[in-house]
């Protein structure tokens, strides 16, 4: 790799960010944060899930809420589905498609919010979690990419990264959206 290839990475990331940065997406993020903050203020919780880098984003989202984002404040009820013992148990006994849905079946409640993250929009286990969440009257916020896949139409709010050839561009948008959501949730919950 040379410096031109490195510059190309930054230029692609910038182009993707500029394409995403518009009033429509700002409104989607704001609306998603309102749904999440309402759940918290109503004594409910936010559950997040995703695979690979998206699991890391789901974990990052939850830990910033239970811990701290920018300012000290009370912890906010959020949990990511990332416990290795749960993941290995359920995948062994029921198949990897059920690792998130079993968790939502166990602890999801009416009024909770599920944040499902999938750069393709087609992760089967995220899709199954959304189906279970809907059956429990939970709200669903989806972070997707490409054309939104099968997940997009099932979400109450879908926030879709611009189409790109590789998942890393969508992941870069997703982490920025996650930080915006956390910031807005904090402001609304602590108002």
Distance set, CA 95 to CA 98, 136, 187 (Å): 6, 22, 39
**How far apart are the C-alpha atoms of 135 and 110, rounded to whole Å?**
9
Distance CA 98, CA 81 (A): 12
Q: How far apart are the first and last CA of the chain?
A: 48
Q: Has residue 1 got a pLDDT over 70?
A: no
Look up the domain containing 171 and give its range: 3-189
For residue 61, the model assigns a pLDDT of 98
- For residues 172 and 17, the answer to whether their CB atoms sit within 8 Å is yes
pLDDT tens by residue, 107-163: 999 999 999 999 999 999 999 999 999 999 999 999 999 999 999 999 999 999 998
Mean pLDDT score across all residues of the chain: 96
**187 Cβ contact list (under 8 Å, min separation 6):** none
Domain count, the chain: 1
> Is there a contact between 143 and 60 (Cβ–Cβ < 8 Å)?
no
Q: 93-123: per-residue pLDDT in tens?
A: 999 999 999 999 999 999 999 999 999 999 9
User: What does the pLDDT average to over 76-91?
Assistant: 98
Which domain CATH number covers 57?
Answer: 3.40.50.10490
Residue 47 near residue 114 (C-beta atoms within 8 A): yes
Q: What is the reported pTM?
A: 0.96
Sheet holding 46-49, edge to edge: 78-80, 46-49, 113-117, 139-144, 157-160
Note the pLDDT of residue 109: 98
Q: Shortest CA distance to 45 belongs to which of 106, 124, 125? A: 106
150: DSSP letter: T
Kindly report, residue by residue over 46-66, the tens digit of the pLDDT.
Answer: 999 999 999 999 999 999 999
């Amino acid at each position: 790799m040379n410096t031109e290839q490195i510059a190309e990475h930054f230029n692609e990331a910038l182009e993707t960010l500029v394409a995403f940065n518009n009033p429509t997406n700002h409104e989607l993020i704001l609306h998603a944060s309102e749904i999440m903050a309402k759940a918290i203020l109503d004594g409910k919780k936010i559950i997040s899930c995703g695979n690979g880098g998206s699991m890391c984003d789901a974990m990052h989202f939850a830990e910033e809420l239970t811990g701290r984002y920018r300012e000290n404040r009370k912890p906010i009820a959020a949990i990511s589905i990332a416990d290795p013992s749960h993941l290995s148990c359920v995948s062994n006994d029921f198949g990897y498609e059920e690792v998130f849905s079993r968790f939502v079946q166990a602890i999801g409640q009416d009024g909770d919010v599920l944040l499902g993250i999938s750069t393709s929009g087609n992760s089967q286990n995220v899709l199954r979690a959304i189906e279970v969440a809907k059956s429990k009257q939970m709200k669903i916020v989806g972070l997707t990419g490409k054309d939104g896949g099968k997940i997009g139409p099932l979400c109450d709010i879908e926030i879709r990264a611009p189409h790109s050839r590789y998942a890393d561009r969508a992941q870069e948008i997703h982490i920025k959206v996650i930080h915006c959501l956390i910031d807005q949730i904090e402001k609304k919950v602590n108002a």
